[in-house]
Chain A
Amino acid sequence: LRTTFVKTLTEIADENPNIWLLCGDLGFSVLEHFAARHPKRYVNVGVAEQSLAGIAAGIALSGKTVFIYSIGNFPTFRCLEQLRNDVCYHGADVKVVSVGAGFAYGSQGYTHHAIEDVAIMSALPGMEVFAPCDPLEVRVATQLIAGSGNPSYLRLSRAGEPVLHSAEPADLRVITFLREGGDVALLASGPIVSLCLEAAEQLAALAIQAAVVSVPCLKPLDEASIMHLAQGGVPIITVEEHVMRGGLHAGIASLLVAHPKRPVVSGLGIPEPVKKISRGGNREELLSESGLSAASIISRVRAIVGR
């Protein structure tokens, strides 16, 4: 996903002389393409995220669109107050791009696991939050935020994620059905959508038809489409590579609580890791240990639909 991001951003910067890219000394073998093409609009500020965010705000308030790029929690939590005060309250056109969403950094341990980021970024005033699931969504998301004029957070996984869409989605602010199905709807954000597709495939063999819906924009949530989906009464299960507090499930549950025909809403997410000591494992293994696997999705679906 990160390669698609940089390629797309470089293309946009070829056309738009106001696009800048700043990094916090991370992005080796990824950002060089942009840096080579636009050396005057690329700055590695060093290992200094507070400065990174503040400098980005100053450049943006001079009329530019500034992308800041780093890993996991570094461009978000480490400079949270700069994002709140200097970026969001000023409406500065800064885009925060974080690589390594969820457990993408596997065995690197909890310092590199971004699993509370959506909640925190969503709390910032005016910050739009995108978690694309595949390279096509990344491309559209990058184009969208480059031209939105709004502070934005782009949550990327790492590399090698498969294409899940059949074509580029036209509008990333709305949800997209990747699979139709009338018994249950699986809603997910980010590459974990592929687990939902895998589960849906296996459920079909059990004669349970599961819809799979990508929710690439977590803020603002596509409330109209989600309310419409709920109208049919089909149970909704959210699946997220994030803690349940403040993420996809929280957003959808709080939206649907007022729905007159509120369907069953259930969620799968990462349990709050209280005092948890990190152990090794790749992304899939860590997800599975957190109860996020095709099998766990299937068992939740079967418990809800009763088959």
Chain B
Amino acid sequence: MMAFVKQLNGMSIPNDLDPSRFARRIRAHALRMVFRAKASHIGSCLSMADILAVLYTRVLSIDPLNFHDPDRDRFILSKGHAAAILYAALAERGFFQVDELATYCERSSRLTGHVSHGVPGIEVSTGSLGHGLPMAVGFALAARADNRSSRVFCLLSDGECDEGSNWEAILFAPHHGLDNLVVIVDFNKIQSFGRVSDVLDLEPFADKWRAFRWNTVEVDGHDLGALEQALSAKLTQPGKPTAIIAHTVKGRGVSFMEDKLEWHYKSPSDEQLVQALAEVGI
């Protein structure tokens, strides 16, 4: 335990907001967390690491010392099973001590296996898919009614786009002109039973968002520059919400996990952890 905490401490560089190094560190944290807890979903964490890194270093207007500022941006992780790497990002961003990551999934820890609003920096708990976007729409409506500058970001998995509740909200947001709302889809093309194209094909995916009248952008979800450009873009189409379809690779950054369904479930062995950490560059 102590050795583990020291390792985590050694990895942390306070206030280092370089997105590339931030992404490496949160990948490493997540790997250690799921290794120690023998938890699932590391593939889902790694596929969105770069998106989180850009959001938390370059995009979100949030202050860990004044988290309840009503003018803050909201980030909602609807794919709540990828909690480990979000907790890692929040710790790296200064919402709580990096040491605490070592308690992930332990008895009485705040850091539960699915996203919990008991954790500083978390807006809402998620874990049942298809809940995040309607709530994000509610945040966006309230922010607009109060004339706040807040933007609301909601990260969805591709698999959860099977949920009808998402499509209710996808229909709603453009009708109400919620241009303060940004959806990012972590489109890694694998859902829990197999390839999205085999389980329930979403294609033509971007066209669906366009048909629902969203300002729709497709990016390489591992290109930090492209992500920053897409996420920070000033309104190009006032009155329209933005959908960023981020093409990603499940398990990205660890060669033996990349694009492999099994890493939705498995946790790494001792040897695999060593190799994985070496590959992510820690």
- A residues with a Cβ closer than 8 A to B are 40-41, 43, 45-46, 48, 50-51, 53-64, 81-82, 85-86, 89-90
Cβ contact of B134, chosen from A53, A61, A63, cutoff 8 A:
A53
Q: Which of B114-137 contact A (CB under 8 A)?
A: 117, 123-125, 127-128, 130-131, 133-137
User: B137 contacts A61, CB within 8 Å?
Assistant: no
User: B137 contacts A86, CB within 8 Å?
Assistant: no
User: A46 contacts B171, CB within 8 Å?
Assistant: yes
What is the total number of residues of chain B having a CB less than 8 Å from a CB of chain A? 29
| Chain A at the B interface: SS class | helix
Shortest Cβ gap from B195 to chain A (Å): 27
| B61 CB–A CB distance under 8 Å | no
User: A54 contacts B134, CB within 8 Å?
Assistant: yes
User: B131 contacts A61, CB within 8 Å?
Assistant: no
Cβ contact of A55, chosen from B117, B135, B145, cutoff 8 A:
B135
A-B contact pairs, 10 of them (CB 8 A): A50-B130, A51-B134, A51-B137, A54-B133, A57-B134, A58-B134, A59-B141, A85-B127, A86-B135, A90-B125
Shortest Cβ gap from A245 to chain B (Å): 26
Q: Which of B164, B169, B176 has the most CB of A within 10 A?
A: B169
CA distance in complex: A55, B132 (Å): 10
CA distance in complex: A86, B124 (Å): 8
CA distance in complex: A54, B128 (Å): 12
User: B171 contacts A48, CB within 8 Å?
Assistant: yes
Please indicate the chain A residues that have their CB under 8 angstroms from the CB of B117 in the complex: 90
- B residues with a Cβ closer than 8 A to A are 70, 117, 123-125, 127-128, 130-131, 133-143, 145-146, 164-165, 168-169, 171-172, 176
CA distance in complex: A86, B126 (Å): 8
Q: Assuming the A-B contacts A82-B134, A86-B131, are A58 and B168 also in contact, with contact meaning beta carbons closer than 8 angstroms in the complex?
A: no
User: B137 contacts A54, CB within 8 Å?
Assistant: yes
User: B138 contacts A58, CB within 8 Å?
Assistant: yes
Shortest Cβ gap from A16 to chain B (Å): 14
Cβ contact of A62, chosen from B128, B131, B142, B164, cutoff 8 A:
B142
| Chain B at the A interface: SS class | helix
Please indicate the chain B residues that have their CB under 8 angstroms from the CB of A81 in the complex: 128, 131
User: B141 contacts A51, CB within 8 Å?
Assistant: no
User: A89 contacts B125, CB within 8 Å?
Assistant: yes
Please indicate the chain A residues that have their CB under 8 angstroms from the CB of B140 in the complex: 58
Cβ contact of A58, chosen from B125, B127, B137, cutoff 8 A:
B137
User: A50 contacts B134, CB within 8 Å?
Assistant: yes
User: A62 contacts B139, CB within 8 Å?
Assistant: yes
Cβ contact of A54, chosen from B125, B138, B146, cutoff 8 A:
B138
Please indicate the chain B residues that have their CB under 8 angstroms from the CB of A90 in the complex: 117, 124-125
CA distance in complex: A8, B125 (Å): 33
User: A51 contacts B128, CB within 8 Å?
Assistant: no
Kindly report which residue of chain B lies nearest to residue A51, judged by CB atoms.
B168
Cβ contact of B128, chosen from A41, A59, A61, A85, cutoff 8 A:
A85
- What would 13 more interface pairs be, CB under 8 Å, given A46-B172, A50-B164, A58-B139? A40-B145, A45-B168, A46-B168, A46-B171, A54-B133, A54-B165, A56-B138, A58-B136, A58-B138, A58-B141, A59-B142, A82-B134, A90-B125
Please indicate the chain B residues that have their CB under 8 angstroms from the CB of A40 in the complex: 145
CA distance in complex: A64, B142 (Å): 8
Please indicate the chain B residues that have their CB under 8 angstroms from the CB of A63 in the complex: 70, 142
CA distance in complex: A62, B124 (Å): 11
Please indicate the chain A residues that have their CB under 8 angstroms from the CB of B169 in the complex: 51, 54-55
Q: Assuming the A-B contacts A40-B145, A90-B124, are A61 and B168 also in contact, with contact meaning beta carbons closer than 8 angstroms in the complex?
A: no
Please indicate the chain B residues that have their CB under 8 angstroms from the CB of A50 in the complex: 130, 134, 164-165, 168
Please indicate the chain B residues that have their CB under 8 angstroms from the CB of A41 in the complex: 145
Q: Which of A51, A61, A82, A85 has the most CB of B within 10 A?
A: A51
Please indicate the chain B residues that have their CB under 8 angstroms from the CB of A85 in the complex: 125, 127-128, 131
Please indicate the chain B residues that have their CB under 8 angstroms from the CB of A48 in the complex: 168, 171-172
Kindly report which residue of chain B lies nearest to residue A58, judged by CB atoms.
B138
Kindly report which residue of chain A lies nearest to residue B133, judged by CB atoms.
A54
Shortest Cβ gap from B147 to chain A (Å): 11
Kindly report which residue of chain A lies nearest to residue B116, judged by CB atoms.
A89
Shortest Cβ gap from B208 to chain A (Å): 17
